Amino acid sequence: MSLQALRKEYIPNIPCEISDINITVQESSLVKVDKKIENIFEKTSKSPLLSFISGKGKKANFLKVGVLFSGGPAPGGHNVIAGVFDSLKKIDNRSQLYGFLNGPDGILKNKYIVITKELIDNYRNCGGFDLIGSSRTKIETEEQFKQALNNVKSLDLDGLIIIGGDDSNTNALYLAEFFLKENFKTKVVGVPKTIDGDLKNEYILISFGFDTACKVYSEMIGNLARDAMSSKKYYHFIKLMGRSASHIALECALKTQPNFVLIGEEIFKGKKGLDQIVKDIAEMVIKRAKQNKNYGIILIPEGIIEFIYEIKMLIGELNKILSSYEKKFKSFEDKEKIDFVLSKLSNSSKKSFLYLPKDIQKQLLLKRDPHGNVQVSQIETEKLLIDKVKEELKNKKDIKFNPIAHFFGYEGRASFPSNFDANYCYALGFVASSILKEGYTGYICAISNLNKSVNEWRGKAIPLASMMNMEIRKGKEKAVIKKALVDLKGKPFEMFVSLRDKWIIEDNYKYPGPIQFFGDKKLTDSCPIIIK
């Protein structure tokens, strides 16, 4: 029997306090929300935090619910749908679940499928989002809101579940508010997804997908470390996904103990420039060479580029230029694009731009994603650092420096979910249905005690409005969910700091190996180190 077939049979482990659909809701006092946010979300901002406990909740008739994925895949997404499906059927066997196709596009174009038992059974505990697909389409214009409303009306939906990251959950709240203002019954609930781990707070310990992605990357980092130790001739520069925050790099560092790790948030705080980062890496290479160690492992978060102070300033200016001259820019050839931005940049940003290799310059001018973000996964920071370190070492003829660039990103996003993510996602699906059954809107699901045994997990619902802050997006102030960055005073970072100096010279690599699905629970069900 194949692993693929075996995984379908896995029954996620969730406590009866979550799988029981006869839950009672406990409302806490109202969550504090900033005045500006309150003005934008008049109807959804005065909401309490919800805790679910076993007992008698509202008696629900059958529910009609739509679900969609938004943004990049994250392992476990199909289990959220399985959890929603199973809980809806438990509430009332006549309940219907519709899967909107290709992300938010599905709800705008009214493209959906009916999720049946046969269909979902084929996707249980599988990676990817391919059952219904995903996209990064943003619902932001009045017309789009109206289209979404018409389509939820046509299906007579009681609820809409948006499985996404910070930007997608921001969208979820705007939709919830719009549906309420238009007096329509569809309640909107978000589910915290992203391998990046940057959608979290005191209630959401981690987003789903992070655990699996880090386990996949750490296996590969461990393999490269063993290879480096064996052949003793290569430096592996490994860029790891994580658009903004460096949580993935930190978790993988703690799992594998590489020689050098860049943490974006620390670099930003110390206002470290690119030249200093390059010098630090070169210094490590020289130190190791003195011990005859001409190999090593270096981890680079993909978002690093936006944490390097002078490049952050540069990107800020580029974003403004690109949005102000969008049409004109499209018609330019690469060379013209570069000349054009050079004519518009401030002197300091011009200097930073010119310091970068041509390829990186071009990559920085690529189209922004629909949320206005630079597509950092397309920027080859690992190659940039290799080039610059080579330059730095060019006069040191006695130093052997053979670097190899790697990017671990997409490989981790659609893997079979770890047991942690399989269980977590299935539980999130139940919580999403409970929120809808109890008639709440504008919430995101959470599970407390994720770092404890599954028996202690409990369902919670957090008002999305409480997670909003005002930010400048595409040149305008907008209410969005604040990205959670690595806390430089937090335990995981402190643990890393206490260990990293040793890693520079000593080869303290750890080899986590592949994700385990069978055997000792300590091995199969472990949670991420950064939430322990």
Q: Which residues are catalytic?
A: 196
- Closest separation in Å from C-beta 518 to ligand FBP: 28
Interface region with ligand FBP, contact rule CB under 6 A, candidates 220-228, 238-246, 267-275, 382-390? 238-246
State how far the Cα of 187 lies from the Cα of 441, in Å rounded to an integer. 5
Question: CB-wise, 71 or 258, nearer to ligand FBP?
Answer: 71
User: Residue 124 or 193: which CB sits closer to ligand FBP?
Assistant: 193
Sole residue written with tokens 């006092």: 29
Residue 528 interacts with ligand FBP (CB under 6 A): yes or no: no
What CA–CA distance (Å, rounded) separates 83 from 97?
11
For residues 43 and 362, which CB has a smaller minimum distance to ligand FBP in the complex? 362
Kindly report the number of other CB atoms within 10 A of residue 116's CB atom: 11
Rule CB under 6 A: say whether 15 interacts with ligand FBP. Answer: no
80 lies in the site for ligand FBP, by CB under 6 A: no
Cα–Cα distance for residue pair 400/285, rounded to 1 Å: 9
Provide, rounded to whole angstroms, the least separation between the CB of residue 249 and ligand FBP.
11
> Distances in Å between the alpha carbon of 456 and those of 90, 144, 172, 522?
22, 41, 28, 16
Q: Does 192 bind ligand FBP (CB under 6 A)?
A: no
212 binds ligand FBP, rule: CB under 6 A: no
- Distance (Å, rounded) from C-alpha 158 to C-alpha 363? 44
Does the protein bind ligand FBP through residue 72 (CB under 6 A)?
yes
Query: Contact between 71 and ligand FBP (CB under 6 A)?
Result: yes
Q: Is 222 in the site for ligand FBP (CB under 6 A)?
A: no
Q: Nearer Cβ to ligand FBP, position 72 or 492?
A: 72
- What x-and-dash track marks residues 121-140 binding ligand FBP by CB under 6 A? ---------------x----
Is the CB of 220 or the CB of 345 nearer to ligand FBP?
220
Among positions 270-309, residues that touch ligand FBP (CB under 6 A) are 302
Could you give the CA distance from residue 457 to residue 528 in angstroms, rounded to a whole number? 15
In angstroms, the CA 72 to CA 165 distance is 9
Task: For residues 394 and 392, give the distance between their C-alpha atoms in angstroms, rounded to a whole number.
Answer: 6
Q: Residue 469 phi/psi, 5° resolution?
A: -145, 165
Q: Among the candidate windows 6-14, 194-202, 271-279, 427-435, which touches ligand FBP by CB under 6 A? A: 194-202
Which of 105, 196, 306, 421 touches ligand FBP (CB under 6 A)?
A: 196
Q: Give min distance, CB of 115 to ligand FBP, in A.
A: 22
Q: Which of 45, 194, 349, 361 binds ligand FBP (CB under 6 A)?
A: 194
Binder to ligand FBP among 76, 104, 165, 296 (CB under 6 A)? 165
The smaller minimum CB distance to ligand FBP, of residues 133 and 242, is found at 242
By the rule CB under 6 A, 197 interacts with ligand FBP: no
Nearby residues of 14 by Cβ (< 8 Å), 6 or more positions away = 83, 423, 426, 427, 430, 454, 457
**Whole-number Å distance between alpha carbons of 465 and 52:** 20
**Site for ligand FBP contains 415 (CB under 6 A):** no
**Closest C-alpha to 68, from 25, 110, 10, 24:** 110
Place of tokens 């010119």: 354
- Beta-bridged to residue 98, according to DSSP, are 66, 114
Binder of ligand FBP out of 376, 393, 436, 461 (CB under 6 A): 376
Sign for the pseudo-dihedral over CA of 436, 440, 443, 449: negative
374 lies in the site for ligand FBP, by CB under 6 A = no
Nearer to ligand FBP, 77 or 222 (CB): 77
Cα-only R_g, the chain: 24
Triad 104, 98, 63: Cα angle to 5°: 120
Does 195 contact ligand FBP by CB under 6 A?
A: yes
Closest distance between ligand FBP and the C-beta of residue 167, in Å? 7
The residue of the chain with the least Cβ separation from ligand FBP equals: 71
Give the span between the Cα atoms of 267 and 307, in whole angstroms: 6
Q: How many residues bind ligand FBP (CB under 6 A)?
A: 15
For the four alpha carbons of 266, 270, 274 and 277, in that order, the dihedral sign comes to negative
User: Does residue 463 touch ligand FBP according to CB under 6 A?
Assistant: no
Among 64, 187, 239, 243, binds ligand FBP (CB under 6 A): 243
Nearer to ligand FBP, 215 or 243 (CB): 243
Backbone angles phi, psi at 51, to 5 degrees: -125, 140
459 counts as binding ligand FBP under rule CB under 6 A: no
Nearer to ligand FBP among residue 64 and residue 483 (C-beta): 483
138, 229, 426 from 196: Cα distances, Å: 19, 29, 20
> Pick from 14, 23, 74, 238: which binds ligand FBP (CB under 6 A)?
74
Nearest-angstrom CA–CA distance, 251 and 296: 18
Residues near ligand FBP, by CB under 6 A: 71-72, 74, 136, 165, 194-196, 241-243, 302, 376-377, 413
